[in-house]
């Protein structure tokens, strides 16, 4: 005698439990990614960026001048703000003075650091030392003036990473104020202080759009040096 089995579907309760479990898994993955990116930002900030700030300070202490300044003008690269020290020239200038550099992308490429954006695409931060002539600083309670300041330029930062570094260096996120500013906006503090003026100019989907596998748009930042 054959047994007869009655087909049985999922109950509403069972489906609800399954959906809750899926939501928990997705949430855990998202939180895990956020924690990972935060840890990467902390490592870049504390080991790479701060490492270069300390290397610059050691250079000035040991030599009595700033990198590349053979004229003792106090300006990185010489008497004008048009010269930037980057790549091999920057690494060689620091090493020949006995300055220890932070670990970078490879031996001889201590000026670079490779990380992944939120889409898993590799990005390469590159460091340059230079001077800008329009670093806005307050001269009164209501006015600013552009001054020549030595800076470290960081290229290829995702907006998320730029904001995390900004928060760690300045204690708040603002692309115009503080020690870290977005390239092109270092002299913009004299403009109207509208609500969103301090946001970094690009966001995570500027380049990617609907393509989640695309490379994230990047920004550049200046960090003012101590001398």
Q: Where are the alpha helices (DSSP H) in the chain?
A: 12-43, 50-63, 87-95, 159-170
Tokens describing residue 95:
């090493």
Please, what sign has the CA dihedral across residues 92, 64, 44, 183?
negative
* Residue closest to 106 by CA, chosen among 126, 121, 89, 120: 126
> d(Cα 44, Cα 113) in Å, to the nearest integer?
8
Please report the pLDDT score of residue 208 as a whole number: 45
Domain residue spans of the chain = 12-224
Whole-prediction pTM value? 0.79
> d(Cα 121, Cα 204) in Å, to the nearest integer?
13
C-beta neighbour count of 55 within 10 angstroms:
21
- Residues 132 and 153 sit within 8 Å (Cβ to Cβ): no
Q: Which residues contact 137 (CB under 8 A, 6 or more apart)?
A: 144, 145, 146, 147
> pLDDT for 199-220, tens place per residue?
887 666 554 444 445 668 899 9
Please report the pLDDT score of residue 47 as a whole number: 93
Q: Which residues contact 204 (CB under 8 A, 6 or more apart)?
A: 118, 158, 159, 160, 216, 217
Please report the pLDDT score of residue 210 as a whole number: 43
Please, what sign has the CA dihedral across residues 113, 117, 122, 125?
negative
- Give the position of tokens 């670990």: 103
**β partners of residue 132:** 149
End-to-end CA distance of the chain: 94
- Chunked into runs of 10 residues, the chain (227 residues) has average pLDDT values of 56 74 64 66 92 96 91 81 87 95 91 90 94 90 86 95 93 91 84 62 56 72 95
> pLDDT for 74-86, tens place per residue?
899 876 666 889 9
């Amino acid at each position: 005698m054959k047994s007869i089995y009655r087909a049985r579907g999922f109950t509403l309760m069972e489906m609800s439990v399954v959906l809750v479990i899926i939501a928990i898994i997705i949430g855990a993955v998202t939180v895990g990614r956020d924690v990972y990116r935060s840890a990467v930002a902390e490592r870049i900030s504390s080991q790479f960026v701060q490492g270069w700030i300390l290397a610059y300070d050691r250079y000035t202490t040991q030599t009595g001048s700033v990198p590349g300044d053979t004229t003792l003008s106090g300006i990185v690269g010489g008497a004008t703000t048009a010269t930037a020290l980057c790549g091999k020239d920057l690494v060689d200038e620091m090493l020949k003075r006995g300055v220890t550099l932070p670990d970078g992308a490879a031996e001889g490429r201590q000026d670079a650091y490779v990380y992944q954006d939120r889409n898993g695409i590799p990005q390469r931060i590159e460091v340059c030392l230079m001077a800008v002539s329009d670093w806005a600083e307050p001269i009164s309670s209501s006015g600013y003036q552009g001054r020549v300041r030595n800076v470290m330029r960081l290229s290829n930062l995702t907006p998320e990473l730029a904001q995390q570094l900004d928060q760690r260096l300045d204690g708040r996120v603002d692309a115009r104020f503080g020690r870290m500013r977005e390239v092109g906006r270092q002299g913009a503090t004299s403009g109207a202080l509208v609500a969103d003026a301090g946001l970094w100019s690009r966001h995570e989907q500027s380049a990617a759009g609907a393509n989640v596998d695309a490379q994230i748009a990047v920004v550049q930042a200046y960090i003012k040096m101590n001398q």
